[in-house]
Structure 1
């Protein structure tokens, strides 16, 4: 898996209070407990890093793999 996906999984796991290896790269993050408030937290962090990404981009396919592609 890409370095971006691994880093992303760590960020999401931190927000969900789980270990990174508990999240699959193709797992539906909404079903894993990621709610809209936490998604917005991630978006704000990524926008500060210079990424042009919004909520609709992420909810279309809520998996670590898909999001890593958007952020790459």
Structure 2
């Protein structure tokens, strides 16, 4: 699995909602920025194809870049141990 960074997430989300990555703040609600559940699921599936295993329900608890990054970082740390 490739290491994902918060910038990887920001870039992928930005591409999905057609905004510049700099427009996504760590605490911005991604749904308010235009990320609907179908696009979110598409992102999760794309990341899974790259080797990142995520539980969509965990991501739904905090729909911010920081919230998603916390889930990804925790998952990456679990897989390393």
Structure-1-length-normalised TM-score: 0.86
> Do the aligned residues in 2 keep the contact of 1:8 with 1:68 (CA within 8 Å)?
yes
Q: Which runs of 5+ in 1 are unaligned?
A: none
TM-score by length of 2: 0.78
RMSD of aligned Cα (Å): 1.3
Q: Whose RCO is larger (CA < 8 A, sep 6+)?
A: 1
Runs of 4+ in 1 over 4 A off after TM superposition: none
Of structures 1 and 2, the larger Rg is shown by: 2
Figure out how many residues of one structure are paired with residues of the other and give that number: 70
